[in-house]
Amino acid sequence: MAKAVKAARAAAPIPAAGNRRTEGERLVMPMIELKNIVKSYRRGSEELQILKNVSLSVEQGDFVAIIGPSGSGKSTLMNTIGLLDVPTSGSYVLEGVATEKMSDNRLAELRNTKIGFIFQQFNLLPKLNAIENVELPLVYSGVPRKERRERALRMLGLLGMEGRGHHKPSELSGGQQQRVAIARALAMQPSLLLADEPTGALDSRTGAEVLELMIQLNEQGNTIVLITHDAHIAESARRVVSIRDGQIVDDKRLAPLPAEPSRQEVAG
């Protein structure tokens, strides 16, 4: 199935690379725009530079894989994109909002409303059932109880987990736990899905199913940035950005952007 999706994408013409593109007379701005990002840490008297003047833009509706070996800086770049860490210097604009000078509270608010996280280890709370885990970001955002329950059930249903809502993580397979984690990431209807090695803790068959689900989510209009060390997984994205020694060393577009990029709720 993933191969069929990639083949269909490849049949369409691929637009020239650029930071902005036009649709008719309308200028489309990037959803993510990083410019000259530097991230350094002090180790005694030594300054260790993890990211070295990284510039990257991601447009709405794209599916971008960031690939690199261990120690390449890809995790630091993910933390920067996810507003989990702030750069030492440089600028980061997320949906037109400059983030580099925001307070911790404002960053947390923006992170909770704009970004849905999908982690390798699922990060589900073991004492909560699937519905309650999906509801967590809605609780933090003050969504009324009835609405968050309805939204959680809808997300689980769309991901094929309608009969597992009252099961705790220990009662679910790895693939089912990752589906719950994806449902949680989608619950706030975020602008961006940020996936950190989402298939890393799964067997190959289940990992392929989760990857196919990611492709489907992107086809439905969700913008995705996926972090991986696996070239095979990266090839399922529309665009592959390679990072090494804290610098972007390659940027390839494998498939075109959607004709009309517009984020949609998975429910359609």
The CA distance from 212 to 2, in Å, is 6
Which pLDDT belongs to residue 81?
96
| Surface-to-core class of residue 234, CB atoms within 10 Å of its CB (0-12 exposed, 13-18 middle, 19+ buried) | buried
Which pLDDT belongs to residue 16?
30
Helix, strand, coil abundance in the chain, percent, nearest 5: 35, 25, 40
β pairing state of 89-94 and 32-43: antiparallel
- C-beta of residue 149 within 8 angstroms of C-beta of residue 168: no
In the three-class reduction of DSSP (H, G, I as helix; E, B as strand; rest coil), residue 167 is classed as: coil
- pLDDT digit string, tens, across residues 72-122: 999 999 999 999 999 999 999 999 999 988 999 999 999 988 999 988 888
pLDDT at 227 over 50: yes
In the chain, the percentage of residues whose pLDDT exceeds 70 is 86
- pLDDT digit string, tens, across residues 138-195: 998 889 999 999 999 999 998 888 889 999 999 999 989 989 999 999 888 898 999 9
pTM comes to 0.82
pLDDT at 28 over 70: no
- pLDDT digit string, tens, across residues 121-136: 888 999 999 999 999 9
